[in-house]
Amino acid sequence: MPYDPILVQPMREELTSIGVQELRTGADVDEFMQGKTGTTMIVINSVCGCAAGQARPGVRLALQSDVKPDRVATVFAGQDVEATATLRGYFSQLPPSSPSLALFKDGQVVHFVPRHAIEGRDALSVANDLVAAFNKYCAKSTA
Q: What is the pLDDT of residue 57?
A: 98
Active-site positions? 48, 50
What total number of domains does the chain contain? 1
Q: Name, in order, each residue with C-beta under 8 angstroms of 71's C-beta and a sequence gap of 6 or more.
A: 21, 32, 35, 38, 39, 40, 41
Per-residue pLDDT tens digits for 109-128:
999 999 999 999 999 999 99
* Mean pLDDT for all residues in the chain: 94
CATH number at residue 86: 3.40.30.10
**Does any domain span residue 141?**
no
**Does any domain span residue 20?**
yes
**Does any domain span residue 129?**
yes
Tell whether pTM > 0.85: yes
